[in-house]
Amino acid sequence: MRVTYTDICRRFTECGIENAGGEARILIEEICGEFSSEKDYLCDQLLFAVEKRCTHYPLQYIIGKWWFCRCEFEVNEDCLIPRPDTEIAVEVAQKLMPQNARFADLCTGSGCIAISLLDLRPDTSAVAVELFPKTLELAKRNAERNNVADRFVGVLGDVLSGNVLGDEIFDVIVSNPPYIRSDVVPTLSKEVGFEPLAALDGGEDGMIFYRRIVEAYLENVSYDGCFIFEIGYDQAEDIKAVADNSSLKCEIIKDFGGNDRIAVLRR
């Protein structure tokens, strides 16, 4: 069966896919290796992908990659899909890190934060921690793919139990941990339902990772250093309380949509 760009847009719109035109274009380009809005494509793989997307399976997992900052990342069901708002964490860390900084990225997932920072700042080096072996392997492949593997050390570990960084001191500890409240997770979009639950669920109040990370890793932050956290749009007051509890100052930075998104905690 032949299919055109317009057919795919129509099918996506029927299925409630928001950015029907943009997604149709990406699928055609990625699967057929070229794009034309006029041409009709004879390609079973494209038809299969369109129907898969109509089940609300994420486009990013279908094409097996996504773009974040200046890099391209392999993505699959083992990792959270990198989000545009997370680029702000990279932007903030890039500005705050001193020359030749050493930083840690806790809960690294695809590795998008650490790898983008290493790409933007060739003077820096990173330790990236992840709980799941398959996800950590993916992050390491992404470090290779973006030519920063020589400055990227992947560590398998549970940031909630003990301290996986030992006694090493870092200029910055950056983290986009799971921060959705457990009761909110089931209400998220169908697409998010295909992403790993362990990448989303931040416990009853969504704050468990921030509390544990600040408690367990403050000694790993240099005297002038800081934590840089991505937070939920409604978590500014809660993260300020976490900072207060450890006598830290807390600065909140907004995202592109004007929502609170990044918290910088320092002494």
Ligand X SMILES: C[S@@+](CC[C@H](N)C(=O)[O-])C[C@H]1O[C@@H](n2cnc3c(N)ncnc32)[C@H](O)[C@@H]1O
Binding site for ligand X (CB under 6 A): 79-80, 82, 86, 107-110, 112-113, 129-132, 135, 158-160, 176-178, 196, 198-199
- Residue 2, number of CB atoms within 10 A of its CB: 10
Q: φ and ψ at 192, to 5 degrees?
A: -65, -30
Q: Report residue 66 as tokens.
A: 């996504």
Taking the least distance from each CB to ligand X, the nearer of 154 and 177 is: 177
* CA–CA dist 20, 9 (Å, integer): 5
Between 47 and 228, CB nearer to ligand X = 228
What residue number has its CB nearest to ligand X? 109
Q: How far is the CB of 177 from ligand X (least distance, A)?
A: 6
Extract long-range pairs of 251-255: CB within 8 Å, 24+ residues apart.
Answer: 253/88, 253/92, 255/85, 255/88
Query: What's the min distance (Å) between Cβ of 262 and ligand X?
Result: 12
Extract the tokens encoding 175. 């983290």
Q: Which is nearer to ligand X, 58 or 82 (CB)?
A: 82
Task: Give the Cα separation of 109 and 135 in Å (integer).
Answer: 6
Which tokens sit at 67?
């773009």
For residues 21 and 203, which CB has a smaller minimum distance to ligand X in the complex? 203
In the bound state with ligand X, the residue whose beta carbon lies nearer, of 165 and 199, is 199
In the complex, the smallest distance separating the C-beta of residue 135 from ligand X, rounded to whole angstroms, is 5
Please state the closest distance from residue 116 (CB atom) to ligand X, in A: 10
> Cα–Cα–Cα angle for 246, 252, 253, nearest 5°?
150
Gap between the terminal Cα atoms of the chain: 63
Residue among 116 and 226 whose Cβ is closer to ligand X: 116
Minimum Å distance from CB 225 to ligand X? 19
User: Rounded distance, CA 224 to CA 9, Å?
Assistant: 52
Torsion over CA: 96, 101, 107, 112 (sign): positive
Nearest distance, CB of residue 113 and ligand X, angstroms: 5
